[in-house]
Amino acid sequence: MSNTEKVIAVPIERRQQIHFSFHWLQKLVKQTAVIILLLLIWETVPRIGLVDAAFFPAFSDVVKSWWAMLVSGELFAHFTASIVRSLTGFILALLIAIPLGLLIGWYPLAKDLLNPILEIFRNTAALALLPVFMLLLGIGETSKIAIVLFACTWPVLLNTIAAVRNVDPLLIKSARSMNISSFKLFIKVILPASVPTIFTGIRMAGTGAILVLIAAEMVGAKEGLGYLITYSQYNFQIPEMYAGIITIALLGLLINQGLSVLERKFSKWKQPVQ
């Protein structure tokens, strides 16, 4: 009896193992296949003359100039300028929007007073205000940090307000039944329950920060990745321009990944979505 069981059991186990490793490999292939394919197309299309290599240089040429700029330190200077601006604006926005959002979400009066203003600003595209920021604050650091700050504030603010409003009433009831003060209720229940929704806003702000910053740097700046792109274009340094674009993509990826890690750390109690 037990003999037959074994005979049956072994192949099933083995099949599962093979299946598992295949699955892992499949995942890796799936995740990188499209990227590799795109890079291959990028490499060949200019080489076989389908597009003008002067406007669309092959990927390897772009990598070459990217490397040269990295070694010369030029890229690093632009990268630093951009990341300092976006982080400063971003962090200032968090420092303003989270406490303000908690306040507005918690006090109905604050919401009634501020709601009309919020409605107006949330629907104003930050980039539309770029000229105003430049006129008022010049083309120096202040205007760039200010526009990032402005763009990042709204998603964080609105998500924070929504988070506070949408805390499960049952949890509030449960905490109140243990006779805790309003202040404790806020610190121990409202705040932790709000974290995931606030983080959604922070993620949105992270994406927005890069977007408006690059746009602002393209319009008026003396350094930064946005400036690098427009400057290279004017001077017909096309591989350098593409190198700048790739760097921006990497910067975006970096910020997004960083925020993901933070988010996971803060919401590890959340049920993972399939």
Question: Measured between alpha carbons, how far is 58 from 61 in angstroms, rounded to an integer?
Answer: 5
Name which of 118 and 193 has its Cβ closer to another protein.
193
Rg of the chain on CA atoms, in Å: 25
What does the per-residue mask of binding to another protein show for 194-213, with x meaning CB under 8 A?
A: -x------------------
Interface mask (CB under 8 A) for another protein, residues 8-47, using x and -?
----------------------------------------
**CA 129 vs CA 123, 132, 136, 137, 273: distances in Å:** 12, 5, 11, 12, 38
> For the chain, what percentages of helix, strand and coil (3-state, to nearest 5) are there?
85, 0, 15
CA pair distance 220, 144, nearest whole angstrom: 9
Q: Is 271 in the site for another protein (CB under 8 A)?
A: yes
Amino acid at 255: I
Non-local (6+) Cβ contacts of 159 within 8 A are 101, 197, 198, 200, 201, 202, 204
Residue nearer to another protein on the CB measure, 83 or 189:
189
Q: Is 123 helix (H, G, I), strand (E, B) or coil?
A: coil
The residue within the footprint of another protein, chosen from 126, 147, 152, 189 (CB under 8 A), is 189
CB 162 within 8 A of CB 197: yes
Q: Which stretch binds another protein (CB under 8 A): 78-86, 122-130, 186-194, 201-209?
A: 186-194
C-beta of residue 97 within 8 angstroms of C-beta of residue 153:
yes
Closest distance of CB 99 from another protein, Å: 20
Distance of alpha carbon 256 from alpha carbon 258, whole angstroms: 5
Please choose, out of 73-81, 92-100, 168-176, 257-265, the segment that lies near another protein by the rule CB under 8 A. Answer: 168-176
Based on the shown chain and the rule CB under 8 A, indicate whether residue 177 belongs to the binding site for another protein. yes
Rule CB under 8 A: say whether 270 interacts with another protein: yes
- Quick one: which segment of 86-94, 175-183, 235-243, 244-252 binds another protein (CB under 8 A)? 175-183
Q: What is the C-alpha separation between 172 and 189, in angstroms, rounded?
A: 7
- List of E strands, 37-134: none
Q: If you search the block for the tokens 């303000």, which residue do you land on? A: 100
Per-residue binding letters, 71-110, with another protein (x by CB under 8 A): ----------------------------------------
Q: Is 186 in the site for another protein (CB under 8 A)?
A: no
Q: How far is the CB of 201 from another protein (least distance, A)?
A: 18
The answer to whether 173 contacts another protein (rule: CB under 8 A) is: yes
Q: Which of 178, 183, 234, 273 binds another protein (CB under 8 A)?
A: 178
Minimum distance, C-beta of residue 269 to another protein, in the bound complex (Å): 4
Question: Which one of 11, 54, 123, 269 is in contact with another protein (CB under 8 A)?
Answer: 269
> Measured between alpha carbons, how far is 91 from 187 in angstroms, rounded to an integer?
22
In the complex, the residues that contact another protein under the rule CB under 8 A are 170-171, 173-180, 184, 188-189, 192-193, 195, 268-271
